Structure 1
Amino acid sequence: MKEAVMEKEKSKAEVNALTPVPTDERKGWIAMAFVQAGICVCVPSFLEGAILAEAMPVWPAIISGTLGYVIVVVVMSILGMMGCDLGVPSCTLTRATFGDKGGRYIVSVLFAINLIGWFGIQNGLCGEAFTNFMSEYVGISIPLVASNVLWGLIMLLTAVYGVSALEKLDYVSIPLLMIIMTMGTVMAIKVNGLTGMGSEVTQTMSFLGGVGLSFNFYAVGTITAADITRFQRTRKDTIKSVVWGVFPMGVITLVLGVLLTKIAGNYDISMVLIDVGLPVAGVVALILATWTTNSTNAYSSGLDIVMIFKIPDNRRREVTVVAGLIGIVLGAFGILDHVEGFLSFLSFLVCPIGGVMMADYWIVGKGKAENWHPVEGFNKIGVLSWALAAVIAYLCKIEYLGIVVGLVIYLILERFVPSLSRGAEKKVEA
């Protein structure tokens, strides 16, 4: 009896990683919109608003940041529909564009490093906030490493159970976060007034720079959109979940980051709540905001590691645990604090991947699932297009430029040397 119960609980956890999601396991757009919204609400999203608020006047900051999210939504919808069509995650999709080995040794490695790194960094912020809260307001001293491990494991557990667990978490956390964020903003205005809104700012960032900054904060999540949208039933559902999940919460956190920086001198909603005398609400806000985002980081990194090492597909849960533990350990001991700049640099390498994938699927493959063909080894046209686009984007210091450049270069090169993804030659089993 006990074994039957354990097996039933085990079966609730999502198992497979790279194989297509069956039709009966696909979800409605509202459920996935909550998951998408949960990814957007995190401390870095508030930080984005703060950076813009300190670099330009209020309205240009808000408008440029909002346009950045428009780009995010457009690119996510295009890449997300690919995942919906085929029912597979981003790393699997790249087996056509970059070849089986290119998808494993280039794309999946870049995705995994980035996702594990940010999981560890955000988990470290959460653990530090919890330790400080318990010490100052409860009188209990908890070692920072213990806090990091505790919350890292909790966030990791959600990722291990899969998208259904993320969905349940976000159904609860998103409404609660909306209430807490609204309360914090009202209290900040009550305590500090609106005098800071009129303060003059010496513009140190261009309008287009603000657009780029907004996109860059969500670059990896944009390019790996299919990790979540593969659970959608239709292309229409994919677009609706992205638009209603990403755009509102992205813009709300952006605007709050701008307003709180101007009003309270602090972009972090959790710290603002603590400053106005609501420490419990503050720490709850930070934990929930980190949890909803970080679980997805761990979940997606698990998919990429399965791809890199050709681990049996039904070992997704175990691999996710390993990926999360690596992030926890690196973050707990401060190792990731020294590589945060490197992780940001990876955006220059990640963005062109999306452009090349879009060109291959939507233009060369005419947007038809039956024209998607994974190929053996490296798809040289895809790899070369990615490399050239990454170099150009880096030289121009515009990460999202890599998407457009990658798309254009691939289409040009593909006219002279047709990609193996066009046909069945040298294709491998999907």
Structure 2
Amino acid sequence: MTSAETGRRQDGPAGTGHVPAGAAGEAQDDYALTPVPEEARYSWFSVAVQRFGQVSSFQQFMVGAVLGYGMTFTDAVIAITVGSVLLEVITILMGVAGVKEGMSTSVLARWSGFGRKGSAAVGMLVALSLAGWFGVQNGVFAQGMHDFAGWAPEWAWALVGGVVVTVISVHGFSVMAWTAYLTVPAFLLLAGWSVVDVLVGHSLDDLLTGAPPGPALSLAEGTTLVAGAFILGALMSPDMTRFNRRPSDVVKQTLLGVTLGQYLIGLTAVLLGHAARTADIVGIITGSSGLLGTLILVTAIVKINDWNLYSSALATVNSIDVLFGRRVPRRSVTLVIGAAGTALSAVGMADHFTGFLETIGVLAPPVAGIVIAEYYVVRRYRAGLERARHGVRPPERLPDWLPLSLVCWATGALAGEYLDAGIPAVNAVVAAFALYAAVGLTLRHRRNPPARQDALPDRLPDRTA
């Protein structure tokens, strides 16, 4: 490891306070702490395929099956529509900030409401959440492979799955893009084949108009499931969109990816829930299709789990940088987190963290509300960030903590957890956004009052003398 990679905090051209590792070193590290330069950006299609891969995952199948088990098809369409629109707004706003600044979520948080150490807190929350979900999904992969190929124990499959995904994530965005090129079409083809196999013999009219086979879900409950399933992905949008070339790319890929992912996968799963009369989508597909279902499981998990690990590593790198003044390579951090998540899933411990992960998940949505409020409304550091795009460093004299963000963070989390009306995840985002925007604008107005406009005199002085 070079001194540039682990150097102590010094002034650097990217404004992150580090000795620059050089263009090659930054590229190899996927610009974990520095803005992604224009020449390192990717085509719209390369990023869009990965976005679609995120929102067309097995998780969307599970959500759709739950909706189909407890709602009519029409109500499920409404729930998916409302939840998708709300997600798209948050995803686009976060994603546009990412493409403009070229920064990951946790690094962007330094100049978007949280300060240096506040961004480390955001990073630790994200790192813990996504690393945990990496382990949980790797455990699902291992269980599915063991059920199909019983000759190997679950822990062996967990090791295989964890190693493969870790290797992909270590190599970064370019290899993850190629992985998406392969797994997304494969997933869609295999899932389509399996869906046809399950739906054969069922009347489409009965599936579209029939009553739900399970206990009824309200429209609010259904919308909550849709919005809550991807809210962490919406928060982490800058991790991906910093590789886009223009804001319009973010809008296109979000509208296309989220809409198709939610409707194509979600509504298909609704029909499966009606046809099979169960919400167990894993059992529906793997049980009816054998090898086909197992391959679906593999492709679905690989194309989402590499991003769980990748974003977790980015957030960890930022937290270590802020808290200890040390720059650690993203690849090394990815290896450590991947090894830990793989080991936990191999010994069966990852599943026990699901409840804990869902609990700390209420802390994620308010972060998006605060970042959006600061970046688009309060704009305390926007001038400095805009100067940085033209080769000048972002503001270096950042506060460690911004008390306002901590108060708004807590308020949003409480609103999401205890407010009965509405959608919890959206309540959390809106509450944090509204409070931060209102107080932030008031404080900015007090610090920088508008210049006084003196009244013109009744008559101009005589200058002829």
Quick check: 48-57 or 200-209, which moved more? 200-209
Quick check: 9-18 or 112-121, which moved more? 9-18
Counterparts of residues 192-341 of structure 1 (less than 5 Å): 192=202, 194=204, 198-201=209-212, 204-266=216-278, 271-276=283-288, 278-310=289-321, 313=327, 315-341=329-355
CA distance in 2, matches of 1:273, 1:343: 26
Contact 2:80 2:262 in 1 (8 A): no
CA gap of 1:333–1:31, structure 2 versus 1, over 3 A, is same
Q: Does 1:401 align with 2:401?
A: no
CA distance in 2, matches of 1:221, 1:421: 36
CA distance in 1, matches of 2:326, 2:201: 56
What is the TM-score normalised by the length of structure 2? 0.81
2:21 matched residue in structure 1: none
2:177 matched residue in structure 1: 167
Counterparts of residues 10-21 of structure 1 (less than 5 Å): 14-21=29-36
What is the TM-score normalised by the length of structure 1? 0.88
CA gap of 1:386–1:169, structure 2 versus 1, over 3 A, is same
Task: Report the alpha carbon displacement of residue 186 of structure 1 after superposing the two structures with TM.
Answer: 1.4
Q: 1:389 aligns with which of 412, 432, 444?
A: 412
Q: Secondary structure at the match of 2:425?
A: coil
Q: Does 1:42 align with 2:57?
A: yes
Q: Secondary structure at the match of 1:339?
A: helix
Greater helix fraction, Structure 1 or Structure 2: 1
2:400 matched residue in structure 1: 377
Task: Report the alpha carbon displacement of residue 159 of structure 1 after superposing the two structures with TM.
Answer: 0.9
Q: Secondary structure at the match of 1:417?
A: helix
2:37 matched residue in structure 1: 22
2:443 matched residue in structure 1: 417
Task: Report the alpha carbon displacement of residue 199 of structure 1 after superposing the two structures with TM.
Answer: 4.1
Task: Report the alpha carbon displacement of residue 336 of structure 1 after superposing the two structures with TM.
Answer: 2.6
Number of aligned residues = 407
Q: Does 1:146 align with 2:146?
A: no
Q: Does 1:120 align with 2:120?
A: no
Contact 1:126 1:148 in 2 (8 A): yes
CA distance in 2, matches of 1:407, 1:21: 27
Q: CA RMSD in A?
A: 2.6
Contact 2:69 2:278 in 1 (8 A): no
Contact 2:378 2:444 in 1 (8 A): no
CA distance in 1, matches of 2:440, 2:377: 11
CA distance in 1, matches of 2:73, 2:395: 48
Q: Secondary structure at the match of 2:217?
A: coil
Contact 2:29 2:329 in 1 (8 A): no
Largest Rg, 1 or 2: 2
**Which 5+ residue runs of structure 2 have no aligned equivalent?**
1-23, 388-393, 449-465
**Which 5+ residue runs of structure 1 have no aligned equivalent?**
1-8, 136-140, 423-430
1:100 matched residue in structure 2: 116
Task: Report the alpha carbon displacement of residue 12 of structure 1 after superposing the two structures with TM.
Answer: 8.4
CA distance in 1, matches of 2:437, 2:286: 53
CA distance in 2, matches of 1:66, 1:333: 39
Task: Report the alpha carbon displacement of residue 217 of structure 1 after superposing the two structures with TM.
Answer: 0.4
Task: Report the alpha carbon displacement of residue 213 of structure 1 after superposing the two structures with TM.
Answer: 1.3
Q: Secondary structure at the match of 1:72?
A: helix
